[in-house]
Structure 1
């Protein structure tokens, strides 16, 4: 019996805009918070001002549509809502 595959996060960032550090920082935050729950966080170079975050092929953040970049709290909440909606993120969920 095989174990079900863990979710994959893809962060597509614009190389022309030099958003690699931002994408890498967000990947680090997600891997630190969802340590054993994620199978992969991939960084994919793009162009044309793209900054998009996908969870198993579901877009959870798109810079142009959502108006800029997510703060870490919002990003973690959106990933949690896909991964395990009932899960508490501790201090991140506090207002």
Structure 2
């Protein structure tokens, strides 16, 4: 059975559009690797968490920021399909 992603967001903070965008990006990139992405309004103010099955892979409060799409895709890929290339999202930024 394919794993599923749940994005839990604070509706009072207006983060539904951010969660929907992240869901779209994950579904587009991992259409063959995921069973789906669920958006779940959180009852906890300021919450924004991304879970793969029941494992939290990103927590805005714990990590101190919102995930960038690239970062989130890498975290999901590392767990569901480690050999998958993410193309330009895998490139390191020279600095």
Task: Name segments (4+ residues, structure 1) moved above 6 Å.
Answer: none
What is the CA–CA distance in structure 2 between the aligned matches of 1:32 and 1:23, rounded to whole Å? Answer: 14
Counterpart in 2 of 1:93?
A: 90
**What is the deviation of 1:38?**
0.7
What is the CA–CA distance in structure 1 between the aligned matches of 2:4 and 2:62, rounded to whole Å? Answer: 22
What is the CA–CA distance in structure 1 between the aligned matches of 2:89 and 2:20, rounded to whole Å? Answer: 20
| Secondary structure of the structure 2 residue equivalent to 1:54 | strand
The superposition leaves residues 28-47 of structure 1 with CA deviations (integer Å, 9 ceiling, x where unpaired) of 00001011211010000013
Question: Cα RMSD over matched residues?
Answer: 0.8
Within 5 Å, give how 1:1-95 maps onto structure 2.
Answer: 5-46=1-42, 47-95=44-92
TM normalised by structure 2 equals 0.92
Structure 1 runs not aligned, ≥5 long? none
**What is the deviation of 1:86?**
2.3
What is the CA–CA distance in structure 2 between the aligned matches of 1:87 and 1:39, rounded to whole Å? Answer: 17
TM normalised by structure 1 equals 0.92
